[in-house]
């Protein structure tokens, strides 16, 4: 019988009730059920704990994965940087190989017979030459455009303009604005460039640009396709409305690649001379306009020219649309405004009226807020824009970004912007959008009027007619400096006078009748520097030999004349001495002081970097040289370790004044020249420059001395310039540079020239008093009693062991008889 047919038995109790026979089994079932539930609860808890443990493990693994991903991303970035650096080195190696080929062939400069013999007599010369070329791979070369001399024909913009359709102008403007360099120019400059571009066509297979040939044009491809080759290897193709060749409009350079037409092509071109004139014209017009605006302010009418020029450098441009408040009645202000374009209305609250009443209308050339230059001003009226596109020139007496919360473009108060949400963006015109694109380097800068120009308590002396007070203060300040600046305008030593008298008897056209060549000390684009000694006397000089034909071909006559004149007048222990000049049909010669301690560059190359005390000594010497030059009104423009030589005492002397120029107080100059890694932003942007570019390069020098390489270096020169224009403010410094030199570098390399240390109202004294120089003996440096950390032993006046070896010259350049060297 199956289980289903079983029946439970019933028992009768004494009271007659009936009890099921399985009642005990029910209790046992409940117990079993409770035990099972407890077991399940325990199991669930165990599973929860296990789940939690596994969740924690999973989170840990996810964190580990994220960490590995970040590590991979960092390694990928490092790999990309190394790849870029490798590409840079390959390009540099390729250029060096080109140089080696040219020097090995007919490209070497000719030499006098005595020089060639001296070169050939050296043992194992070819081995030493190869070693030298290899060791000098990293040496930096200077670049220069033709000097913008006033003797050149005056540029006529109207004659340079070329008629073209509006649609073409738009396409050209867009193409130029895509270029990393050109997009940083001002809107008006871009417009002028477009106006002056002209059409050039090329047939299939024809070269637009040839590698190795000098470049003079910027191009925009309008129709067709172009291929880019380097050493006959296809690199890439250029598509329509692409800009190329922009380096050639900055200065003389040879093309690094060839560009060939795949089919019939049409381009728009711009000449370098036109570009440079456009840049100079717009900058000079704007500077003169701003200067005239400032001079028209009665408050500033008697301000000295140098102070006025610095105020021009402090100007910012702000734009306002109709109805926007420029200043509000009752608010505090430290800003002075000049209306450059448009109209504004002046409103004021009175007791007789509920609402502010219009009391005046101002327009172009008018100004307001001039009390802000005197003291903190509580605005007595409100100024509102009467029309769209009101343009104001602004001078803030304090730091603009600290004193006010600025909007990204115009510097308006944020409350004012919030009152115009939804309106401003639609109303901004093309001019403001262009300014926004080009204003990156101007946004967020501190326009420190007090530091740059002076406090009003100082300016008030001028405004009240006490110009003599400034002169007296300047004399006192200079006198204090002179008390610790014994080298300023030093007379020639008796030894130098004796040497000058000795060489004055030499033939003006035959220096080698009296001198014999010992060795080559250096080689450059224009010639060579030879160590020479007087025949029958143990007296040595450095003879700079410059190829006249090369000077004329590159239109550098003005630079060579300037170098001769500046060195002839220089009287500083930190600048190389010039004893005599010569000339013949092929060369001009400069007989210079021989500095046989070697180049700072080669010493830096061999050591990797300098310790802080050594770098401080180098920078101190250069600072003293700049102090002397700037007092004489001389701009140097080619600072780099390659141009710093050590004398027998280990003191640094500035050499190679090919880019130096004398300028007047408040004057700017425009020639693009310098070494790419060291040029300041205003040189790249052709804004005109002055002494502030030397302070920029001093900051770059500090960086290179402490690390072994400059902060800005790209795969090509245009990339280097792009990095420079981005600025040093956001750059992370290597650990080798400690806090104080980093602060000095950042202050020397401010994007705004008016804000650079050395270019403020206290001049170069600010550099000498910087914390990095705490404890440095400036008096000992100037008196040359401070021991040099770079002094090296010399065996005699012709010991050239600290210089690299160079190949001899075998070829002779052609005669050059134009007569530009009549003063030599």
Is the confidence at residue 766, as pLDDT, over 90? yes
pLDDT score at 79: 75
CB 762 within 8 A of CB 504: no
> Would residue 632 count as lying in a domain?
yes
Q: Structural domain of residue 557, as residue ranges?
A: 494-593
Is the confidence at residue 22, as pLDDT, over 70? no
Asked whether residue 543 falls in the same domain as residue 633, the answer is: no
At residue 294 the predicted structure's pLDDT band, cuts being 50, 70 and 90, is confident
pLDDT score at 464: 44
Distance CA 481, CA 489 (A): 13
32-46, 547-561, 777-791: the lowest-pLDDT one: 32-46
Is the confidence at residue 352, as pLDDT, over 50? yes
Q: What is the mean pLDDT of residues 575-598?
A: 95
Q: What is the mean pLDDT of residues 329-339?
A: 80
pLDDT score at 116: 45
At residue 477 the predicted structure's pLDDT band, cuts being 50, 70 and 90, is very low
Partner residues linked to 301 by β-bridges: none
Is the confidence at residue 91, as pLDDT, over 50? yes
Alpha helices in 455-555 (DSSP H): 456-463, 467-483, 494-503, 548-553
Q: What is the mean pLDDT of residues 794-820?
A: 89
CATH code (residue 532): 3.30.200.20
Distance CA 542, CA 519 (A): 10
Asked whether residue 585 falls in the same domain as residue 625, the answer is: no
Distance CA 14, CA 12 (A): 7
> Would residue 671 count as lying in a domain?
yes
pLDDT score at 285: 84
pLDDT score at 694: 97
**At which residue do the structure tokens 């002396």 appear?**
461
At residue 129 the predicted structure's pLDDT band, cuts being 50, 70 and 90, is low
At residue 449 the predicted structure's pLDDT band, cuts being 50, 70 and 90, is low
353, 311, 348, 296: which is closest to 327 by C-alpha?
Answer: 348
| Tokens of residue 784, six digits | 């040359």
pLDDT score at 114: 40
pLDDT score at 431: 44
> Would residue 377 count as lying in a domain?
yes
Last residue of one domain, picked from the residues 593, 618, 643? 593
pLDDT score at 798: 94
> Would residue 59 count as lying in a domain?
no
Higher per-residue pLDDT: 796 or 465: 796
pLDDT score at 490: 65
pLDDT score at 90: 59
Domain count, the chain: 4
How many Å separate Cα 150 from the centre of its chain? 27
At residue 134 the predicted structure's pLDDT band, cuts being 50, 70 and 90, is low
pLDDT tens, position by position, 491-546: 777 777 888 888 888 999 999 999 999 999 988 777 899 999 999 888 999 999 99
HSE-CB for 97 with a 13 A CA cutoff:
8
Asked whether residue 503 falls in the same domain as residue 583, the answer is: yes
- Please give the backbone phi and psi of residue 763, each rounded to the nearest 5 degrees, phi first: 65, -145
pLDDT tens, position by position, 222-268: 999 999 999 889 999 999 999 999 988 888 788 889 999 999 999 99
Asked whether residue 589 falls in the same domain as residue 612, the answer is: no
The reply to whether the predicted model has a pTM over 0.85 is: no
Q: Over pLDDT 70: what percentage of the chain?
A: 75
Q: What is the mean pLDDT of residues 454-462?
A: 54
| Tokens of residue 509, six digits | 């056209």
CATH code (residue 241): 2.60.120.10
Say which DSSP state 698 is in: H
641, 678, 635: which is closest to 658 by C-alpha?
Answer: 635
> Would residue 467 count as lying in a domain?
no
Q: Which residues are annotated as a binding site for ATP?
A: 521-529, 544, 548
Q: What is the mean pLDDT of residues 149-161?
A: 73
Asked whether residue 669 falls in the same domain as residue 727, the answer is: yes
At residue 430 the predicted structure's pLDDT band, cuts being 50, 70 and 90, is very low
pLDDT tens, position by position, 366-404: 888 876 665 666 788 889 999 988 988 887 765 333 323
Asked whether residue 328 falls in the same domain as residue 370, the answer is: yes
**At which residue do the structure tokens 């007569």 appear?**
819
Asked whether residue 501 falls in the same domain as residue 583, the answer is: yes
At residue 574 the predicted structure's pLDDT band, cuts being 50, 70 and 90, is very high
524-528, 611-615, 648-652, 796-800: the lowest-pLDDT one: 524-528
Asked whether residue 615 falls in the same domain as residue 763, the answer is: yes
Higher per-residue pLDDT: 106 or 363: 363
Partner residues linked to 67 by β-bridges: none
Distance CA 487, CA 785 (A): 13
For residue 810, give Cα distances in angstroms to 101, 128, 243: 15, 17, 42
Asked whether residue 589 falls in the same domain as residue 672, the answer is: no
Distance CA 416, CA 430 (A): 22
Asked whether residue 617 falls in the same domain as residue 693, the answer is: yes
pLDDT score at 483: 38
Is the confidence at residue 765, as pLDDT, over 70? yes
CATH code (residue 650): 1.10.510.10
Between helix 23-104 and helix 125-135 the angle, nearest 10°, is 140
> Would residue 795 count as lying in a domain?
no
Residues with catalytic annotation? Answer: 638
CB 441 within 8 A of CB 727: yes
Asked whether residue 267 falls in the same domain as residue 322, the answer is: no
Asked whether residue 605 falls in the same domain as residue 694, the answer is: yes
| Cβ neighbours of 254 (radius 10 Å) | 14
pLDDT tens, position by position, 651-665: 999 999 999 999 887
> Rounded to 5 degrees, what angle do the CA atoms 614, 92, 96 make?
95
Averaged pLDDT score across all residues of the chain: 79
Distance CA 687, CA 315 (A): 14
> Would residue 198 count as lying in a domain?
yes
Q: Over pLDDT 90: what percentage of the chain?
A: 43
Sign of the Cα torsion 165, 171, 175, 178 reads positive
pLDDT score at 282: 84
How many Å separate Cα 680 from the centre of its chain? 4
Q: Which residues are annotated as a binding site?
A: 521-529, 544, 548
Contacts with 575 (C-beta within 8 Å, 6 or more apart), sequence order: 567, 625, 628, 629, 653, 654
Last residue of one domain, picked from the residues 539, 566, 593? 593
Q: What is the mean pLDDT of residues 604-614?
A: 94
| Tokens of residue 536, six digits | 């029958």
Last residue of one domain, picked from the residues 380, 399, 418? 399
3-state class of 253 per DSSP? strand
Q: What is the mean pLDDT of residues 267-294?
A: 87
> Would residue 429 count as lying in a domain?
no
Is the confidence at residue 410, as pLDDT, over 50? no
At residue 200 the predicted structure's pLDDT band, cuts being 50, 70 and 90, is very high
């Amino acid at each position: 019988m199956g289980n289903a047919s079983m029946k439970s038995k019933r028992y009768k109790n004494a009271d007659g009730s009936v009890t099921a026979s399985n009642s005990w089994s029910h209790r046992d079932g409940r117990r079993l059920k409770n035990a099972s539930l407890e077991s399940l609860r325990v199991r669930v808890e165990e599973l929860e704990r296990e789940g939690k443990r596994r969740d924690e493990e999973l989170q840990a693994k996810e964190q580990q994965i994220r960490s590995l991903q970040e590590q991979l991303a960092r390694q990928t970035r490092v790999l990309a940087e190394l790849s870029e650096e490798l590409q840079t080195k390959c390009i540099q190696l390729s250029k060096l190989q080109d140089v080696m080929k040219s020097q090995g062939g007919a490209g070497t400069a000719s030499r006098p017979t005595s020089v060639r013999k001296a070169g050939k007599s050296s043992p194992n010369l070819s081995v030493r030459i190869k070693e030298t070329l290899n060791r000098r791979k990293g040496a930096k070369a200077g670049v220069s455009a033709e000097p913008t001399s006033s003797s050149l024909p005056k540029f006529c913009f109207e004659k340079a303009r070329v008629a073209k359709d509006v649609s073409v102008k738009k396409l050209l403007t867009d193409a130029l604005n895509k270029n990393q360099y050109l997009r940083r120019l001002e809107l008006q400059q871009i417009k002028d460039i477009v106006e002056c571009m002209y059409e050039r066509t090329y047939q299939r297979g024809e070269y637009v640009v040839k590698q190795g040939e000098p470049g003079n044009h910027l191009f925009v491809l309008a129709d067709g396709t172009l291929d880019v080759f380097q050493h006959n290897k296809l690199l890439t193709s250029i598509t329509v409305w692409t800009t190329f060749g922009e380096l050639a409009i900055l200065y003389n350079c040879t093309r690094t690649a060839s560009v060939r037409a795949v089919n019939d092509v049409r381009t728009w071109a711009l000449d370098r001379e036109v570009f440079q004139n456009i840049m100079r014209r717009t900058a000079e017009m704007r500077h003169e306009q701003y200067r005239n605006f400032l001079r028209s302010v009665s408050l500033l009418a008697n301000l000295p020219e140098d102070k006025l020029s610095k105020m021009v450098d402090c100007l910012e441009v702000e734009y306002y649309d109709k109805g926007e408040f420029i200043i509000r009645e009752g608010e505090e202000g430290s800003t002075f405004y000049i209306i450059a374009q448009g109209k504004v209305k002046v409103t004021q609250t009175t007791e007789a009226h509920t609402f502010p009443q219009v009391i005046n209308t101002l327009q172009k050339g008018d100004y307001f807020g001039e009390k802000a230059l005197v003291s903190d001003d509580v605005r007595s009226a409100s100024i509102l824009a009467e029309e769209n596109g009101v343009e104001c020139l602004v001078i803030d007496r304090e730091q603009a970004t600290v004193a006010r919360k600025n909007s990204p473009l115009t510097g308006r108060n944020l409350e004012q912007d919030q009152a115009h949400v939804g309106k401003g963006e639609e109303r901004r015109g093309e001019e403001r959008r262009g300014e926004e694109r080009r204003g990156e380097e101007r946004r967020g800068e501190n326009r420190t009027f007090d530091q740059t120009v002076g406090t009003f308590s100082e300016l008030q002396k001028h405004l009240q007619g006490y110009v003599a007070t400034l002169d007296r203060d300047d004399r006192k300040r200079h006198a204090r400096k002179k008390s610790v600046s014994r080298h300023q305008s030093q007379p020639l030593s008796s030894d130098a006078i004796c040497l000058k008298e000795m060489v004055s008897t030499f033939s003006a056209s035959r220096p080698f009748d009296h001198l014999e060549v010992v060795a080559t000390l250096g080689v450059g684009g224009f010639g060579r520097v030879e160590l020479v000694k007087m025949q029958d006397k143990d007296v040595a000089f450095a003879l700079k030999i410059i190829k006249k034909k090369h000077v004329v071909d590159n239109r550098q006559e003005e630079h060579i004349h300037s170098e001769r004149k500046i060195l002839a007048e220089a009287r500083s222990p930190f600048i190389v001495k010039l004893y005599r000049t010569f000339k013949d049909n092929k060369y001009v010669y400069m007989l210079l002081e021989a500095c046989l301690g070697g180049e700072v560059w080669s010493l830096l190359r061999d050591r990797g970097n300098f310790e802080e005390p050594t770098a401080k000594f180098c920078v101190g010497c250069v600072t003293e040289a700049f102090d002397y030059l700037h007092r004489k009104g001389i701009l140097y423009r080619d600072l780099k370790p390659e141009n710093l030589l050590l004398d027998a005492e280990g003191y640094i002397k500035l050499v190679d004044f090919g880019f130096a120029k004398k300028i007047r107080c408040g004057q700017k100059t425009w020639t693009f020249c310098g070494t790419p890694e060291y040029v300041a932003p205003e040189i790249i942007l052709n804004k005109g420059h002055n002494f502030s570019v030397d302070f920029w390069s001093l900051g770059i020098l500090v960086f290179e001395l402490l690390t072994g390489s400059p902060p800005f270096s790209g795969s090509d020169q245009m990339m280097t310039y792009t990095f420079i224009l981005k600025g040093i403010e956001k750059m992370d410094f290597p650990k080798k540079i400690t806090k104080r030199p980093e602060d000095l570098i950042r202050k020397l390399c401010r994007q705004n020239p008016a804000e650079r240390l050395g270019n403020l109202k206290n001049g170069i004294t600010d550099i000498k008093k910087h914390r990095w120089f705490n404890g440095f003996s400036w008096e000992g440096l100037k008196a040359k009693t401070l021991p040099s950390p770079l002094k090296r032993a010399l065996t005699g006046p012709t010991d050239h062991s600290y210089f690299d070896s160079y190949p001899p010259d075998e070829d002779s350049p052609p005669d050059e008889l134009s007569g530009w060297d009549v003063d030599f």
